[in-house]
Amino acid sequence: MAGSNTKQVTFHLRRFEPGKDAEPHWEDHSIEVTPGMTVLDGLWKVKELSAPSLAWRSSCRMGICGSCGMLINGRPRLACNTQVSELGSAIVAVAPLPNFDIIKDLVPDLRPIFETHREMLPYLLRDDTAEQEDPTREYRQTPHELEQYLQFSYCIKCGCCMAACPTVATDAQYAGPMPLGQAHRYDSDTRDAGFDRRREVLAGGSGPWRCHFAGECSQVCPKGVDPAKAIQLMKRQLVSDLLRLRRRTPPAAVAEAPHGTMRDDIPAAPPRTVTEA
């Protein structure tokens, strides 16, 4: 019998075991849910009580590693970041993220997005190899320059945006919001000088042009990243580059150094001091 603080909830789970099941099927497991319990906690309880072979992917349990993206009551979410109570339902339907092949049960095969992500060269590219190997000073940025990419750097590569994107669902060539958002994260960083190399990938069929900017990707992002915005900014950057407009002098108030150059007009941060408790 459930206690006063507990609630009986049915976990309606999509199961699939390759080599055994011809098709995925649904399975119901009833568990007691206590206040504060997450969907991930619920899956552990189901596994412990009635479905020992249930498979999913998780690690950090705190919304950081990006492993536990799942389709929960019809929306891509992080299982560890979603409390059962916030769903407002006695049924918790959990399926693997759409738009990916299924490895087993709730485990999607995320390899394609990581491969595409890698093609976008998602790291700072610079020509000053000697300076990088033997640094003589800091890479300084203004607060405005930092703002241009900061929110995109919060992406944890969970794949929720890819699962929500209707273009990814219908167009195998489209790179999708995660890899494109991350390409823009570096293209918009003044320390980076890799735009020309990324443009070779972005100007092709996998680039941003197939995005229709409905914004489902940004709506489901559990980290508040706005990949739809990144993609529209990327389109603008590519068009501006094509028209040679990106070489125009920016307004003095927010003057930015050409990408990849060292800044001498920003004072260095004061050295950090460590105080012992």
* Residue 84 binds to ligand FES (criterion: CB under 6 A): no
- In this structure, which amino acid lies at residue 143? P
**Residues touching ligand SF4, count (CB under 6 A):** 26
Picking from 224, 238, 230, the residue whose alpha carbon sits closest to that of residue 176 is 230
Q: Work out whether strand 7-15 and strand 91-95 pair parallel, antiparallel, or are unpaired.
A: parallel
Tell whether residue 120 is a contact of ligand SF4 (CB under 6 A).
no
The token pair at 247 is: 């070489």
Q: Which is nearer to ligand FES, 47 or 126 (CB)?
A: 47
Q: Is 72 in the site for ligand SF4 (CB under 6 A)?
A: no
Residue 64's binding partner, choosing from ligand SF4, ligand FES, none, with beta-carbon cut-off 5 to 8 A by kind? Answer: ligand FES
Residue 45: CB minimum distance to ligand FES, A: 16
Q: Is 242:209 a contact under the CB 8 Å cutoff?
A: no
Q: Does the protein bind ligand FES through residue 66 (CB under 6 A)? A: yes
Q: Which residue has the tokens 């390409």?
A: 183
Q: Which is nearer to ligand FES, 121 or 155 (CB)?
A: 155
Figure out which of the listed residues 8, 59, 170, 173 binds ligand FES, where binding follows CB under 6 A.
59
Q: Does 61 bind ligand FES (CB under 6 A)?
A: yes
| The two structure tokens encoding residue 14 | 């999509």
When the beta carbons of 56 and 195 are compared against ligand FES, the nearer one is 56
CA distance 186 to 192: 6
- The least distance separating ligand FES from the CB of residue 143, rounded to whole angstroms, comes to 29
Name the residue among 87, 95, 94 with its Cα closest to residue 37: 87
Question: According to CB under 6 A, which one of 13, 46, 54, 78 is a site residue for ligand FES?
Answer: 78
Alpha helices of the chain — where are they, by DSSP H? 39-49, 111-119, 129-133, 143-147, 160-164, 166-170, 177-187, 195-202, 216-220, 227-242
Q: Which residues contact 18 (CB under 8 A, 6 or more apart)?
A: 102, 103, 104
Is position 37 an interface residue for ligand SF4 (rule: CB under 6 A)?
Answer: no
Does the footprint of ligand FES cover residue 55 (CB under 6 A)? no
96 binds ligand FES (CB under 6 A): no
By the criterion CB under 6 A, which residues form the site for ligand SF4? Answer: 155-161, 164-165, 167, 177-178, 181, 211-217, 221, 223, 225, 227-228, 231
